[in-house]
Structure 1
Amino acid sequence: MVHTQHELLDSYRDELDLFSIWMKNKGMTKATQRAYLSDTMHFLHAAYPAEVKKLTKMDVMRFMSACREKGAGDEARNRKLSALRAFFKALIELEQLEANPAALIAKSKQEKNKIPSYLEEDELEAFIHMLGGKHYGRNLCIVLLMAYAGLRVGEVHRMNVHDFQADGSIHILGKGRKWRVIPLPEQIQAVLRQAIEERVGAKQGKEQPMFVSQFGRRLSIRMIQTVADDAFKRLKADMPSLAPKRMSSHKLRHSFATMQIRSGTDIRTLQELLGHASIETTQIYTHIDNKQLQNAMNNIAAKIYVPVQKYT
């Protein structure tokens, strides 16, 4: 049955409004709220015109199966399932439902220890040289914070001027609304101070966002991604060997973690720097450095004894 977005919203407006309120009260980021609402709308589009209270585990499984048939990977399906679990949980907590039909559906098994792509140190230097334009100082600061302090795009987006402390550290609001402190190297401190001096005055109430657009508004996540994407395009044109690699702003964070491991940073410290809730998430970076494996084997090369084989 073909139905319009307007019909869908009319049918499920109350449930979606309650879900939005619930997510805000849980302190979810705006990006998470948008993603969860989008995935929930996708599901309700498939379930229409059934009432939410009559939806079952089979309806959710049928939707997940349809997503697979249309080419959605494990990660995408797991994200959709997380959104639906949250949607039904919200309605239960708000006394609109009694059971969560998505709660007992198993997530798809994802490939473990998948090696993330990253830039080598010389490639990272070349990438930074690709920055330019009218807002060079601001853009340089953004890239340095992702590449040499390991910040996520959303964390750069949420930064305010007062998050940069007098002692040279930055206080970062990460996933799960957890704060962490990152002591910045002096080189990045200097660039950040310069960027603050040059920034356009913000026009957003009491908040003073660290990075603003030419119109004085907090720089959007998409614009921060675009700063990196444009530099990656120029880098690939200059270094054709990188052309097959999928590059995005998040790869700068991977590059930071790789450099930390190579420099001997222990896994617990790296977990704190990256703001990972679980050490398992951080441990992937202990597996990605083939150079360390080679160096480890080279360390014992001189100690290997192989007897000369005697033939009779």
Structure 2
Amino acid sequence: MSRASDQALIERFLEMMQAEAGAAGNTIAAYGTDLRMASEALDGGLGDAGRAELERLAGEWQALARASVARKSAALRRFFAFLADEGLRRDDPAGALPRPGSGRSLPKVLSADDVERMFAAITARIAREPKDPNDLRLSALVELLYGSGLRATELVSLPRNAVAPDRPYLILRGKGGKERLVPISDRARAAVAAWREHVSSDRAWLFPSGKGHLSRVRLYQLVKALAAEAGIPPDRVSPHVLRHAFATHLLEGGADLRALQAMLGHADIATTEIYTHVDSKRLVDLVNERHPLGEALVDVTKRRD
């Protein structure tokens, strides 16, 4: 990958950090500096770097303070996690980086009740008079984020006719021309159909804006404003958090992890495992209730008491 390509990926990552994660300006500046220095050290090959390259890079940090190493590792970990989740590379080599901190944290989680509150706020908007077509746009956006787990970039760049009223799925093409099938719920198709009536037939995009389509930054702003309206702290909600909620709630409902991997477009099952956090109590209860030795284990515990 060329230095120019590295720069484009870094800028895209920093845009996400600013708009979605709400990172402070100093943090974004520090991450940008660390990533550009890493790219320069790897002759513009950061985006394609493997474990060997990252181990060599980490070896050059040995003389640095622990806090500096932790910051550089954090920047690169988040960068590679972003590339993997966006489908821009098939693996995440960040395991080769030093771990002076506590390791990778789990994504933010929205409860089903939180999501219901957001949809209730949308319903209240649509019922207002006079009608505002942008409320229908918001409904379609959130239905696709939570109902289908689309990435922010995939969502805003959907062609006008990508979602067909008689087809319960759409086909997305990712890096390298690889395609994946994404299920579209009846609710989402209805929401898209209602919004599309307000999109001129000569527009290329389902969510047009100016001469192009809705930007990722604007999508983040819309979702956070909706969260505040629903009484949820905006820093807990983003397009990616809704995508994560899609996966988490499906998994909690009994969905297969491999099926989720296909729907989310993750090349590595480990990425899916990170983004489909399940409450630990539910897992313990599952073992106690479903494991063949569950009753025997309970009896042993009682005898020990």
Instruction: Settle same-fold status: TM greater than 0.5.
Output: yes
1:234 to 2:229 alignment: yes
Name 1:248's counterpart in structure 2. Answer: 238
Query: Quick one: which amino acid aligns to residue 195 of structure 1?
Result: W
2:184 and 2:10 map into 1 onto residues whose CA distance is 31
1:8 corresponds to: none
Q: Which residue, out of 182, 207, 210, partners 2:206?
A: 210
| Structure-2 residue corresponding to 1:282 | 272
CA distance in 2, matches of 1:59, 1:258: 34
Distance 1:230 1:284, change over 3 A: same
Shift of 1:278: 0.3
Q: Name the residue aligned to 1:219.
A: 214
Q: What SS is found at the alignment partner of 2:286?
A: helix
Structure 1 equivalent of residue 157 of structure 2: 158
Kept in 2: contact 1:211–1:219 (CA 8 A): yes
Distance 1:246 1:259 in 2: 17
Provide the C-alpha distance between the structure 1 equivalents of 2:80 and 2:285, rounded to a whole number of angstroms.
Answer: 43
C-alpha spacing 1:73/1:61, structure 2 compared with 1 (3 Å): closer
Task: Report how far residue 122 of structure 1 moved.
Answer: 1.6
Match for 1:267: what amino acid? L
- Any gaps of 5 or more consecutive residues in structure 1? 1-17, 83-102
Aligned partner letter, 1:278: D
CA contact (8 A) 2:150 2:243 kept: yes
> Corresponding residue for 1:198?
198
Tell me how far 1:58 sits from its aligned partner: 8.3
Higher relative contact order (CA 8 A, sep 6+): 2
Alignment of 1:125-164 (within 5 A): 125-131=116-122, 132=125, 134-164=133-163
Match of 1:19 in 2: 3
For 2:184, the aligned partner's letter is L
- In the alignment, the residues of structure 1 paired with residue 284 and residue 80 of structure 2 have an alpha-carbon distance, to the nearest angstrom, of 41
The Cα of 1:248 is off from its aligned counterpart by 1.9
Cα pair 2:224 2:234 within 8 Å, conserved: no
Structure-2 residue corresponding to 1:265? 255
CA offsets per residue over residues 83-128 of structure 1, 9 Å max, x none?
Answer: xxxxxxxxxxxxxxxxxxxx9xx53448667322221112101012
Q: Partners of 1:297 and 1:267 in 2: how far apart?
A: 17
- 2:63 and 2:178 mapped to 1: Cα distance? 31
Q: Distance in 2 between matches of 1:291 and 1:226?
A: 34
Which residues of 2 match residues 103-142 of structure 1 at below 5 A?
106-109=96-99, 114-131=105-122, 132=125, 134-142=133-141
The answer (yes or no) to whether the contact 1:149–1:182 under 8 Å persists in 2 is yes
Q: Which amino acid aligns with 1:151?
A: L
**One-letter amino acid of the counterpart of residue 270, structure 1:** L
1:305 aligned to which of 284, 288, 299 = 299
CA drift at 1:169: 1.4
Counterpart residue number, 1:170 = 170
Q: What aligned pairs does 1:46-61 form with structure 2 within 5 A after superposition?
A: 61=60
Give yes or no for contact 2:58–2:98 (8 Å, CA) kept in 1.
no
Summarize the Cα distance change of 1:81–1:232 in structure 2 as closer, same or farther, 3 Å threshold: closer
Query: Deviation at 1:177?
Result: 5.1
Output the CA distance in 2 between the equivalents of 1:278 and 1:75. Answer: 20
The number of aligned residues is 250
CA contact (8 A) 1:196 1:210 kept: yes
Give yes or no for contact 2:148–2:184 (8 Å, CA) kept in 1: yes
Matched-pair contact (CA < 8 Å) for 1:148–1:256: yes
CA contact (8 A) 2:141 2:155 kept: yes
Contact 1:139–1:227 at 8 Å: present in 2 too?
yes
**Alpha-carbon contact 1:40-1:80 (below 8 Å) kept:** no
Once residues 302 and 286 of structure 2 are traced to their aligned partners in structure 1, the CA distance between those partners, rounded to angstroms, is 25
Deviation of 1:283 (Å): 2.0
Flag the 1:298–1:181 CA change in 2: closer, same or farther, 3 A. Answer: same
Distance 2:149 2:156 in 1: 14
* 8 Å CA contact 1:200, 1:212 repeated in 2: no
**Cα distance in 2, alignment partners of residues 184 and 44 from structure 1:** 37
Counterpart residue identity of residue 161, structure 1: R
Indicate the structure (1 or 2) with the bigger Cα radius of gyration: 1
The Cα shift of 1:220 comes to: 0.7
Task: Please say if residues 46 and 63 of structure 1, whose CA atoms lie closer than 8 Å, have aligned partners that are also in contact.
Answer: no
Distance across 1 between alignment mates of 2:140 and 2:245: 16
How well do the aligned residues superpose, as a CA RMSD in angstroms? 4.6
| Cα distance in 2 between the residues matched to 1:160 and 1:143 | 17
Amino acid at match of 1:114: S
2:26 is matched with: none
Q: Which runs of 5+ in 2 are unaligned?
A: 15-28, 45-55, 82-92, 126-131
